[in-house]
A and B are shown apart, each in its own frame.
Chain A
């Protein structure tokens, strides 16, 4: 049973445009959400997070939106740059303070 779902395996956007990556979850116990970025041949690195008490968190070009009623979050990258090309994982925490549940990832390609 996949509790965190990223339904788009891949996304392609033009440089300078907005990239929107989506993530859905099913477990109501999740109260903290994180996005990770992964380049080939490297480990995932933390990008941005959001607590369930907020509906938006912004860090430079990256903004995460949370819609608790829809159990949906999204990562917006504006403007997109070729260096943003990577796999993005959505992850959720809740019920325990030691375990994250990851989605399968979305491969973002930003074309020059």
Chain B
């Protein structure tokens, strides 16, 4: 049982480049989330999805886009990367928030 799988684990981008962070879960969870964690800071919600075809903004959505075409996949797209997007990105999924989230192992992104 893989849980939540994130790829890549590490990436260095140049300013202005674009990339997609991949996230897949095999638990048939309806709810999926993208968070970022900056050094010494907590988790900030970027986008979330309550089901295939439905997405919504979190606290810090600027500079990012998401799509949810299937229950399993929830990719996060960075357009025109900026140094402020240097962070560790976590994807998570949930059946119900009372049961908690299952997190992926994270993608460490550096924009130079």
Judge whether A43 and B90 touch: CB under 8 Å. yes
> Within the complex, which residue of B31, B103, B108 is in contact with A44, where a contact is CB–CB below 8 Å?
B103
- Any B CB within 8 A of the CB of A97: yes
> Given the complex of chains A and B, what is the CA–CA distance between A36 and B35 in angstroms?
15
Q: Which residue of A lies closest to B43 (CB)?
A: A102
Residue of B nearest to A98 (CB): B31
Task: Classify chain B's interface size.
Answer: 20 to 34
Min Cβ gap B77→A in Å is: 20
B12-20, B63-71, B79-87, B93-101 - interface stretch = B93-101
Check if B98 sits within 8 Å of A43, measured CB to CB: no
Contact A104 B103 (CB under 8 A): no
Interface residues of A (CB under 8 A from B): 9, 32, 34, 36, 41-46, 49, 51, 89, 91, 93, 96-100, 102-105
